[in-house]
Structure 1
């Protein structure tokens, strides 16, 4: 029996709501629905495919909170490139902050 991606998505949404975990839905790829979930110290990207498969990417914080002073450094990673988002530049301030 072929697994139904929609039923997996609905089941997971119900589990998140039972645990009172907030999420947002996104549609970034033709064949998927993505959930963006933020819990203390982590962020998850969970993609549900129409064929029933699921991909999960977890981002874990080291717990360090940075201030306003790093905003320009964060943007500079993309502003220094001719093609934004293609070439990343190493920034020692940010590397040491993570």
Structure 2
């Protein structure tokens, strides 16, 4: 059964190995440690009841250009795409105003 000591020891091991990590909380009464090494992203979730859940995400090695951004927005942030385009138009207008000054 994992405890806060287990979490602290794990973080110490990451620090000693110069492995960058990010702490967050995605569920009540838990702490998530996210680690990316090489082509893998690991998520360790330390729960208040002592359980630890681990998920590993492995890259297929494909790197996308800005079309990946567009695809993500279309698939997951449909309404945000319009806002993103509006922001670009506002930025273009501001640049034109700056050029005129």
TM range (shorter): 0.7 to 0.9
CA distance in 2, matches of 1:70, 1:13: 33
SS state at 2:64 partner = coil
Structure 2: runs of 5 or more not aligned = 80-101
CA distance in 2, matches of 1:79, 1:67: 18
Match of 1:24 in 2: 22
C-alpha displacement of 1:51: 2.0
Match of 2:61 in 1: 63
CA distance in 1, matches of 2:78, 2:12: 43
After the TM superposition, which residues 1-98 of structure 1 pair with which residues of structure 2 at under 5 Å, given as runs? 3-80=1-78
TM-align CA RMSD: 1.6
C-alpha displacement of 1:4: 4.8
- TM-score, normalised by the number of residues in structure 1: 0.73
1:21-44 deviation per Cα after TM superposition (whole angstroms, max 9, x unaligned): 100100121110001111110111
SS state at 2:14 partner = helix
- TM-score, normalised by the number of residues in structure 2: 0.71
More helix by share: 2
CA distance in 2, matches of 1:7, 1:72: 43
Structure 1: runs of 5 or more not aligned = 82-98
Larger RCO, structures 1/2 (Cα 8 Å, 6+ apart): 1
